[in-house]
């Protein structure tokens, strides 16, 4: 165990009591200077630790930053989040996760950042990423066919929605394919990207962006968890809960790739609405009647015929088609 982890754990166990530098040093078999240096860097990581001259150290508050030590504390997963790469700021957590995956990062490796300078949304849109949001990417190696990616993306949206709904007793719903909606406003989204060959996926990066304590500008009205529950939310807690549900649903998915769709349909925000889907070369309008076993959106067209769309940009229509 690294010295920093040991100090935080020991101070946490002593429940606000001061622990002497000597005790910490003896128990970890290092010098008191090493303890002091480690406490200084913990303070830089955002831990509120009081240094009392000649008495020792007292932990007043854990850091709010979603660093590896905090995400792993009491994390209810076996694989997802067992390795976390944290950045105060990064271009895009998806880019960093891709680099790690290319060089062999294990399934479940997570990249988290406090802010992103080049956060990306779907269709190459900018994803504004100020401090206070959740920006995380998870490396998965599902050994799937590339066409299964749509389902995996839907499943990731379901995991995030379920995590938030269980934490805050709210009703996050999913706009197909994977916008997270709260009170009909956009709360976040999923950007999944894969690398592999024509028949086989090497890895998938599931990128998750959430307006937790922040408000961002996108092309549709946005919601933030903070505004809805009327208090600042804990990013570490959200990330842990997302990883828990993502691992649960993902493990089920590997055994039964369509099982989760029932739950997905139940919290769909799109079904029964009149929608317009923009594809590369055409725009299709229709009524969203179902999500099929591939995760495709099934539309009833104005002429009464049906069509299925596996991926595209979805917009709700105000007037009937």
Which residues would be at the binding site for ligand BTN (CB under 6 A)?
Answer: 92-94, 116, 119-122, 125, 127, 135-137, 179, 189-191, 207-209
Distance (Å, whole) CA 111 – CA 138: 7
Residues with Cβ < 8 Å from 53, sequence gap 6 or more?
none
Residues with Cβ < 8 Å from 290, sequence gap 6 or more?
265, 271, 297, 298
In the bound complex, what is the minimum distance in angstroms from residue 192's beta carbon to ligand BTN? 9
Task: Compare residues 218 and 321 and give the one whose CB is closer to ligand BTN.
Answer: 218
In the bound complex, what is the minimum distance in angstroms from residue 242's beta carbon to ligand BTN? 12
In the bound complex, what is the minimum distance in angstroms from residue 32's beta carbon to ligand BTN? 41
Task: Compare residues 38 and 93 and give the one whose CB is closer to ligand BTN.
Answer: 93
In the bound complex, what is the minimum distance in angstroms from residue 31's beta carbon to ligand BTN? 41
Q: Hey, how many other C-beta atoms are within 10 angstroms of the C-beta on 148? A: 18
In the bound complex, what is the minimum distance in angstroms from residue 315's beta carbon to ligand BTN? 13
Task: Compare residues 35 and 151 and give the one whose CB is closer to ligand BTN.
Answer: 151
Which residue reads 């976040």 in tokens? 188
In the bound complex, what is the minimum distance in angstroms from residue 173's beta carbon to ligand BTN? 14
3-state secondary structure of 11: helix
3-state secondary structure of 187: strand
Where does residue 297 rank: exposed (0-12), middle (13-18), buried (19+ CB within 10 A)?
Answer: buried
DSSP secondary structure code for residue 124 in this structure: G
Torsions phi, psi for 15 (to 5 deg): 45, 55
In the bound complex, what is the minimum distance in angstroms from residue 207's beta carbon to ligand BTN? 3
In the bound complex, what is the minimum distance in angstroms from residue 212's beta carbon to ligand BTN? 12
Residue closest to ligand BTN (Cβ): 189
Task: Compare residues 134 and 261 and give the one whose CB is closer to ligand BTN.
Answer: 134
Task: Compare residues 38 and 128 and give the one whose CB is closer to ligand BTN.
Answer: 128
CA distances from 214 to 68, 85, 184, 194 (A): 22, 22, 17, 28
Distance (Å, whole) CA 216 – CA 290: 30
Distance (Å, whole) CA 30 – CA 195: 45
Residues with Cβ < 8 Å from 167, sequence gap 6 or more?
237, 238, 241
Angle (CA) 194 217 269, round 5°: 65
Task: Compare residues 180 and 288 and give the one whose CB is closer to ligand BTN.
Answer: 180
Task: Compare residues 56 and 207 and give the one whose CB is closer to ligand BTN.
Answer: 207
Task: Compare residues 126 and 254 and give the one whose CB is closer to ligand BTN.
Answer: 126
Distance (Å, whole) CA 49 – CA 57: 7
């Amino acid at each position: 165990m690294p010295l920093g982890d040991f100090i935080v754990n020991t101070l946490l166990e002593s429940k606000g009591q001061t622990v002497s530098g000597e005790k910490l040093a003896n128990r970890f078999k290092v010098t008191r200077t090493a303890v002091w240096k480690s406490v200084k860097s913990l303070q830089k990581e955002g831990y509120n630790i009081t240094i009392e001259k000649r008495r020792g150290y007292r932990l007043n508050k854990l850091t709010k930053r979603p660093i590896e030590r905090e995400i792993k504390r009491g994390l209810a997963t076996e694989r997802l989040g067992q390795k976390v790469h944290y950045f105060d700021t990064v271009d895009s957590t998806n880019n960093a996760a891709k680099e790690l995956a290319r060089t062999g990062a294990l399934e479940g490796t997570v990249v988290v950042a406090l802010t992103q300078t080049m956060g990306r949304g779907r269709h190459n849109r900018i994803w504004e990423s100020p401090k206070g949001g959740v920006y995380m990417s998870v490396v998965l190696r599902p050994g799937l066919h590339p066409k299964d990616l749509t389902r995996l993306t839907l499943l990731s949206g379901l995991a995030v929605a379920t995590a938030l709904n269980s934490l805050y007793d709210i009703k996050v719903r999913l706009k197909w394919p994977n916008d997270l909606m709260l009170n009909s406003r956009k709360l976040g989204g999923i950007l999944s990207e894969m690398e592999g060959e024509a028949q086989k996926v090497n890895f998938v990066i599931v990128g998750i962006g959430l307006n937790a304590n922040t408000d961002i500008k996108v092309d549709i009205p946005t919601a933030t968890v903070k505004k809805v529950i009327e208090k600042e939310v804990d990013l570490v807690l959200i990330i842990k809960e997302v990883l828990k549900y993502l691992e649960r649903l993902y493990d089920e998915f590997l055994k039964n790739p369509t099982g989760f769709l029932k739950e997905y349909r139940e919290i769909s925000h799109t079904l029964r609405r009149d929608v317009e889907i923009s594809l590369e070369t055409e725009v299709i309008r229709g009524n969203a009647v179902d999500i099929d076993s591939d995760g495709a959106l099934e539309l009833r067209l104005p002429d009464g015929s049906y069509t299925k769309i596996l991926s595209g940009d979805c917009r709700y229509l105000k007037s009937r088609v």
